[in-house]
Amino acid sequence: MKHAIQAVKKIILPLALLMASHVQADPVTDALNALESEWAKIYYQVPKQQQGHAYSQLLGKAVELCKKYPKEAGAIFWQAVIKASYADHQDPVSALSAVHDVRDLLNQAIGINPKAMGGSAYVVLGTLYHMTPSWPIAFGDDDEAEKLFKTALAISPDGIDSNFYYGQFLQDKGNKEEALRYFQRASIAPVRPEQVFADTRLEAEAKRALKNAGGGPISGKKAMFSSLNTAAQTK
């Protein structure tokens, strides 16, 4: 049974929010940037055994932001991503519950603004459908996953995350040659100024996938929600 996901990725901000410092900052944008930055540091720098507590604390911040801005797609998106990351540090029953919550949050964000964050909600949702167990344990469905990835690519054809995670999906399905095309696109995708920390690491994974040429990228995604795998095996 496949591991479920944490797919994670980022918010594409309007260029107007990246203007000179004399322009007053948008408080929502600042809050979203803070969530992304803290999530990336936990994901890439904090030891695995310490991540659960860190994600729990960060999830509380995301929940409070959603209460303050209930119609902000970016806030809902980040609540979903952080909740997915935290689920990997919970027991199997809690993780199974969390994966349904994550799906619902992502659909809620898409319902508010499907193009928010360059379609990143579709990337995460597609990875979720690909990596979660199928019915009757959960809702995994590769046909649905592919539709979601292609929607993300239609919104952001040159995006680093849309190309990388679709490439990973194709590789998992055995379409290695086609997967390499998307890894190549991800490896040369522009690194977003507001996402340098996480984008640089994803770029490195895409280049590693190309170097391995069929061995596959070494991605944290495969390790996420490992508790769901345990739950699947006990059903």
The 10s digit of each residue's pLDDT in 203-214 is: 888 899 888 865
Overall number of domains in the chain:
1
Grade residue 145 by pLDDT with cuts at 50, 70 and 90: very high
Structural domain contains residue 196: yes
Could you give phi then psi for residue 218, rounded to 5 degrees? -95, 95
- CA angle 106/108/87 to nearest 5° reads 35
pLDDT at 27: 87
pLDDT of 175-188, one tens digit each?
Answer: 999 999 999 999 99
CB 224 within 8 A of CB 3: yes
Structure tokens at 183: 């890894």
Say if 11 falls within a structural domain: no
pLDDT value at 11 more than 90: no
In 119-156, which positions are buried (b, 16+ CB within 10 angstroms) versus exposed (e)? bbbbbbbbbbbbbbbeeebbebebeebbebbebbbebb
Q: Which amino acid is at 119?
A: G
Query: What pLDDT is stored for residue 198 in this prediction?
Result: 73
Q: Find the domain containing 42 and state its range.
A: 25-234
pLDDT of 235 strictly over 50: no
pLDDT tops 80 at residue 226: no
User: Which CATH number is 57's domain given?
Assistant: 1.25.40.10
Q: Which residue has the higher pLDDT, 197 or 128?
A: 128
Please check whether residue 103 lies inside any domain of the structure. Answer: yes
Q: Which of 92-101, 114-123, 145-154, 225-234 has the lowest mean pLDDT?
A: 225-234
187: which residues sit within 8 A by CB, 6+ positions away? 203, 206, 207, 210
User: Above 70 in pLDDT, residue 21?
Assistant: no
* Structural domain contains residue 128: yes
**Banded model confidence at residue 79, pLDDT cuts 50, 70, 90:** very high
Residue 108 lies in a domain: yes
Does any domain span residue 2?
no
- Specify if 163 maps to a domain: yes
DSSP 140: -
Question: Is 201's pLDDT higher than 90?
Answer: no
d(CA 42, CA 40): 5
Residues 97, 83: Cα–Cα separation, whole Å: 11
What is the C-alpha to C-alpha distance for residues 224 and 99, in angstroms, rounded to an integer?
Answer: 11
> What pLDDT was estimated at residue 25?
55
pLDDT digits (tens, 9 = 90+) for 117-142: 888 899 999 999 998 888 888 899 99
DSSP state of 16: G
How far apart are the C-alpha atoms of 177 and 185, rounded to whole Å?
13
Residue 78 lies in a domain: yes
Look at residue 220 in the predicted model and tell me its pLDDT.
42
Backbone angles phi, psi at 196, to 5 degrees: -60, -45
pTM score: 0.79
